[in-house]
Amino acid sequence: MKIFFKNAVRQNLFHLFIIIMIFLLGNKNQLLAESPIVLKLTTGNSHNFPLLIGNGTKFNWEKPGVTIELLQLVDEEIPQIKLNYYRTNWRRCLDQLKK
């Protein structure tokens, strides 16, 4: 279990880092603006321990899971971005991504 947890955290952190760096480098001009860039992050609504904890459309903010906790750290450290979190089923996630 410890090995899985460490690998999952390392993999999530790496993917998160790559996504945010690509986004920030692609929006250099917006980084200089006074208002933060708002990103809408949508996850699946099913339990996926330890990455996402709980079911349904609401997060348990005391124990949301490793993925959300890492994203919250990024949100706190980078004032130029503001992350909004949503939970929904995967079909809706994919439909919103296509829009």
Range of the domain at 59: 2-98
Q: Is the pLDDT of residue 73 over 60?
A: yes
Q: Is the pLDDT of residue 69 over 80?
A: yes
Q: Is the pLDDT of residue 70 over 80?
A: yes
**The overall pTM is greater than 0.85:** no
CA 71 to chain CA centroid, Å, is: 5
Q: For residues 43 and 87, is the Cβ–Cβ distance under 8 A?
A: yes
DSSP assignments along 25-65, one per residue: HHTHHHHTSSSPEEEEEEE-SS-BTTTB-S-SSS--TTS--
Residue 39's pLDDT is: 83
Total domains in the fold of the chain: 1
Q: Is the pLDDT of residue 55 over 60?
A: yes
CA separation for the pair 54, 31 (Å, rounded): 34
Phi, psi of 12 (to 5 degrees): -65, -45
- Write down the mean pLDDT value for the chain: 77
